[in-house]
Structure 1
């Protein structure tokens, strides 16, 4: 794939998440299903274009390494969340957030499928492989992280968060997730970290909300 085509593909993912999916008319569960399907389609498209399972981080032989790295990485945010809940001074620093009325559906389906499967297959599998073939390593990583940051613009606006701050945080998180993917050779590693951050974070926010009431 040419450099221009790889950038066009990255731009298409940003449009998908910020424009197309939100205007689809689907509810939260429907958007999660559509997101998971989009991730699978991105991988299928890359496979049909000649990208191998190792390039895509989908090799079965690399899964044990992915599990090891992912489990180790996931322990850190979980420990941080537990500490935040346990220490009164830290609990008070957690900003109040609106949670989903369907917490079970959120943490058991919409986060795993609509966020983790969706984003890890698109970014750490398909896009990482495509950019990695088309650009020097450092440039590919910058493009990957920047695209992941832009992917979250609409979410930042909905949450009334700083767009610049969200870009900075999500770009840094993308860099870490991509490092895990490259280090382990498997998308399982970043997927486990991504899952632990989002699910544990949702549970902490809901716990804080209930304590406040």
Structure 2
């Protein structure tokens, strides 16, 4: 039953992000709120079903560890963005995409709530716990990564990125996020890294766009 429940949960996650949420008719802030609400809801459902806070990576006692590991991991992408912006040849390669009209809202709400809280509570907390109950650690990690990769199919289509490459890349990132969650015992660690990658990427793109290299 644990295996069936975990696979059903993974399938529901993929369907939610690629079909249900995009078809909801909500605007970007509405989708962010819905995503954050879903994350909190699945945690509540998991607690009701008997999952403990340690199992979900939500123990208060592990927060310090999560902060420590997350802060250390976040140095890498932030340093990478800083170096890229500081070296003209690398600055030219920073993907700028379309200009973001509301940078403050993007980095202050939509990313923290609609992306990081949404995905970390769903994946590194609840789905991770469900998979670990039903599968060996290796199989759980593979299923976790595959689900996280497929979660990003629609985003890849919108960005016109190669879908297979995007699925593989985001699936690989799930291995790192999950390793941080397991190593630290807290979802805080992958959440901090996730936040630094996404927010840093937006700010780096804005910086590169506002001060292009001749």
TM-score of the alignment, normalized to the shorter chain, above 0.5: yes
Aligned residue in 1 for 2:75: 75
Aligned residue in 2 for 1:2: 2
Question: Residue 144 and residue 99 in structure 1: after superposition, are their counterparts in 2 closer, same or farther (change >3 A)?
Answer: farther
Aligned residue in 2 for 1:139: 139
Aligned residue in 2 for 1:21: 21
| More displaced 10-residue stretch of structure 1: 48-57 or 89-98 | 89-98
Judge conservation of contact 1:99–1:202 (CA < 8 Å) in 2.
no
Q: What count of residue pairs does the alignment treat as equivalent?
A: 213
Instruction: Quote the Cα distance in structure 2 between the aligned partners of 1:99 and 1:154.
Output: 20
Aligned counterparts, 1:169-180, within 5 A: 169-180=169-180
Instruction: Quote the Cα distance in structure 1 between the aligned partners of 2:150 and 2:104.
Output: 28
| More displaced 10-residue stretch of structure 1: 166-175 or 202-211 | 202-211
Aligned counterparts, 1:64-143, within 5 A: 64-143=64-143
Instruction: Quote the Cα distance in structure 2 between the aligned partners of 1:96 and 1:33.
Output: 26
> CA offsets per residue over residues 137-170 of structure 1, 9 Å max, x none?
1000000010000000000000000101101110
SS of match in other structure, 1:29: helix
Task: For structure 2, list consecutive stretches of 5 or more residues without a partner in the other structure.
Answer: none
Instruction: Quote the Cα distance in structure 1 between the aligned partners of 2:99 and 2:31.
Output: 17
Question: Residue 40 and residue 96 in structure 1: after superposition, are their counterparts in 2 closer, same or farther (change >3 A)?
Answer: same
Instruction: Quote the Cα distance in structure 1 between the aligned partners of 2:98 and 2:147.
Output: 26
1:12 aligns with 2:12: yes
SS of match in other structure, 2:56: coil
Task: For structure 1, list consecutive stretches of 5 or more residues without a partner in the other structure.
Answer: none
Shift of 1:100: 2.1
Judge conservation of contact 1:97–1:209 (CA < 8 Å) in 2.
no
| Stretches (4+) displaced over 6 A | none
Aligned residue in 2 for 1:185: 185
- TM-score scaled to structure 2, two decimals? 0.97
> CA offsets per residue over residues 95-139 of structure 1, 9 Å max, x none?
331142011000000000000000000000000000000101100
Judge conservation of contact 2:5–2:130 (CA < 8 Å) in 1.
no
